[in-house]
Amino acid sequence: MKNAAGHVPGLAVVLVGDRKDSQSYVRFKVKGCEEVGIKSLLAELPRNCTEDEVVDSVSRFNEDPSVHGVLVQLPLPQHMDEEKILNAISLDKDVDGFHPLNVGNLALRSRKPLFVSCAAKACLELLFQSGIDLMGKHVTIIGRSKVVGLPTSLLLQRHHATVSVIHAFTENPEEITRGSDIVISAAGVANLVRGSWLKQGAVVIDVGTNPVEDPASDFGYRLTGDVCFEEAVNVASAITPVPGGVGPVTIAMLLANTLDSAKRVYGLSD
Amino acid sequence: MKNAAGHVPGLAVVLVGDRKDSQSYVRFKVKGCEEVGIKSLLAELPRNCTEDEVVDSVSRFNEDPSVHGVLVQLPLPQHMDEEKILNAISLDKDVDGFHPLNVGNLALRSRKPLFVSCAAKACLELLFQSGIDLMGKHVTIIGRSKVVGLPTSLLLQRHHATVSVIHAFTENPEEITRGSDIVISAAGVANLVRGSWLKQGAVVIDVGTNPVEDPASDFGYRLTGDVCFEEAVNVASAITPVPGGVGPVTIAMLLANTLDSAKRVYGLSD
């Protein structure tokens, strides 16, 4: 874009505290920017900073014309009001797609959100790239977070899938997954989805990244998905691994959202 | 409210064209207002009026401090841009709950919409009044309109139900309904849901109102639901009739939304 249009897209990330997992996610995002020529700006604030300091950081990025996407790495420290801080992000820089107006416009099929959650877009991208038809297919989503479950369920419905959303309170979740053509798990529970939960030939997307203890690993733990891969791989017709499955595609979608935002600003939209 | 607080809530309805069904829905709404002491205002515009004239009507009601709820009776004539007209309704008078910000805030469980779709609230009210527990229960919604299917699916999820949404493209819809504890039909297809689609003891809410020819009726037609009542009544543990089921409760929810809006304006909210 720099060469073609003389502009560089910019992504700003606000990181509060020193959670190892958040730091590593932010590192991946910054690295992703570098690889594709997006400028990245990082505001790091200490765990004990005030809500207002976080909002100030966000506001500065909102006003910076070289920034086209602003995101606050979640989760925030418990003493902070997540909603208030996310509300501070400009609607037109909301590259995570968490703003209620973006969510509402995603839910209403006749409307068009400015941004859609990166994880939701990543799930769809993986399905499209694998040539999997969604129209009328029964997709079960495990988990209903605003980051993954909710936006993925809404995006799939725009593509005419039949969507079931199951969660911690669901009675007999495996009965519903066993009736599904596609299972997308974002529950945050290691090895929740067993082979017996799946229909023969089902497509499985594992969005879970759960740390499990592993003395053999350099860090003392490793990341594992929601799906018991060894069992599921014998039943599924296609399955994403953890790590290395949805994660990198989610970063790519974040970069794509940032690029789209910059193109909108510079009048280069498709 | 008039006696207790010296204020009268006001509901404004914009009706375009001369569809018999729309006219009769509007009549019910106006009659409902009269019964509970809500002031109703009606703007009737001819079928061939312009979009701008409809928007002007809406704008006048937006600015009228005696009006606390504004709704445009749908469907609009085909030459009109429904989205543009609905966008004109003030967020804080959107008693139908169709504004994308209200929909987004309904979808995001940690947030609170100003208004929720009256039909969705009616379905939940009927379930609550019948003492039916929602937590973890599998509810299948047939149809995904912004008026019923979508908001009902989102509202049920706030109450921790497990929700599946099926529609015209769904393969084997009856397989999914047969696995459900509660079936809510808003497809607009007479007698779509047969007894064989239901699990023994399922709860059935029929939101369909489909005109079917009936020479014996005064009007030459009568309204029938989406559910084949004669079959379903033998299988279901509870079922709503059409007419007389969800319809009147939906009107009650519209009046409740209007009252809530007025209470907000006058600082009388709970």
- pLDDT, tens only, B56-105: 999 999 999 999 999 999 999 999 999 999 999 999 999 999 999 999 99
Q: Across the interface, do B162 and A165 touch by the CB < 8 Å criterion?
A: yes
Instruction: Give residue-wise pLDDT tens across range B173-210.
Output: 999 999 999 999 999 999 999 999 999 999 999 999 99
Question: Which pLDDT does position B220 carry in this prediction?
Answer: 82
Question: Which pLDDT does position B187 carry in this prediction?
Answer: 97
Residues of A with CB under 8 A from a CB of B: 82-83, 99-105, 107-111, 135-138, 144, 146, 150, 154, 157, 160, 162-167, 169-171, 173, 175-176, 179
Selecting among A93, A94, A96, A206, the annotated active-site residue is: A96
Question: Which pLDDT does position A3 carry in this prediction?
Answer: 62
Chain-centre distance of CA A166, in angstroms?
A: 18
- What tokens were used for A9? 């897209």
State how far the Cα of B96 lies from the Cα of B104, in Å rounded to an integer. 14
Q: Strand runs (DSSP E) across chain B, as ranges?
A: 10-16, 39-45, 69-72, 138-142, 162-166, 182-185, 203-206, 210-213, 221-224, 238-239
**One-character DSSP codes across chain A:** -HHHHS---EEEEEEES--HHHHHHHHHHHHHHHHHT-EEEEEEE-TT--HHHHHHHHHHHHH-TT--EEEEPSSPPTTS-HHHHHHTS-GGG-TT--SHHHHHHHHSTTS--S---HHHHHHHHHHHHTT---TT-EEEEE---TTTHHHHHHHHHHTT-EEEEE-TT-SSHHHHHHT-SEEEE-S--TT-B-GGGS-TT-EEEE---EEEE-TTSTTSEEEE-SB-HHHHTTT-SEE--TTTSHHHHHHHHHHHHHHHHHHHHTT---
Instruction: Give residue-wise pLDDT tens across range A73-82.
Output: 999 999 999 9
Question: Which pLDDT does position A19 carry in this prediction?
Answer: 92
Selecting among A2, A20, A56, A73, the annotated active-site residue is: A73
Q: Which domains does chain B show, CATH number per domain?
A: 2-93 (3.40.50.10860), 118-247 (3.40.50.720)
pLDDT at position B1 over 70: no
Angstroms from A1 CA to nearest CA on chain B: 32
Chain-centre distance of CA B231, in angstroms?
A: 25
Predicted ipTM beyond 0.90: yes
Tell me the mean pLDDT per 10 residues along chain A, length 270. Answer: 78 96 94 97 97 98 98 96 95 97 97 98 98 97 97 98 98 96 97 98 96 86 94 98 95 98 90
The mean pLDDT of B33-51, rounded to a whole number, is 97
Instruction: Give residue-wise pLDDT tens across range B11-21.
Output: 999 999 999 88
Provide Rg for chain A, Cα atoms.
19
Question: Which pLDDT does position B45 carry in this prediction?
Answer: 98
pLDDT at position B252 over 90: yes
Selecting among B94, B96, B206, B226, the annotated active-site residue is: B96
